[in-house]
Amino acid sequence: MEEFQIHQRLLDDCHRLGRLPICHVLLHRNAALPWFILVPETMATDLLDLSAGPRDRVMAEAAAVSAFVKDDLGYPKVNFGAIGNLVPQLHLHVIGRRPEDACWPAPVWGHLEATSAYDEQALNRMIGRLETACGLAVVKDDTG
């Protein structure tokens, strides 16, 4: 059996924050928008290929992160997607949106030109808030 690993492109594009029971939680390095990427620990490549139980757990974790984006971060809209054209590994995008954001109303893919970076303090605050709101378990590694 193959050992589970997060695709290198995701690790290159994101900060690794920790994990929920079934998904690893990443945060896109571009801080222009709160863009979370959930990577379920599975070898399935498409969300709809998961059997009902794991699929329901993945969706519950995505819903928890979506609620965090709305309730804790104050974004009125969340975009959600499981596209996987560039990265074949199953991963889900949960992105906070608001009318005044950098590419509203267009989708972020191919339209987000604004860039900003998270500093270490902002990342630590985000991790702490996710621990409280969603039960994020911090996983220490040096891929951050």
pLDDT digit string, tens, across residues 52-89:
999 999 999 999 999 999 999 999 999 999 988 889 99
CATH architecture observed for domain 8-131: 2-Layer Sandwich (3.30)
Q: How many helices (H) and strands (E) does the chain have?
A: 3, 5
State whether residue 12 is helix, strand or coil.
helix
Sites in the chain below the pLDDT cut of 50 = 142-144
Structural domain boundaries in the chain: 8-131
pLDDT at 1: 54
Contacts for 83 with CB less than 8 Å, ≥ 6 apart: 93, 109
Q: Residue 70 is encoded by which pair of tokens? A: 């709305």
Closest CA to 101 of 67, 82, 75: 75
pLDDT at 141: 59
State whether residue 55 is helix, strand or coil.
helix
**pTM (two decimals):** 0.94
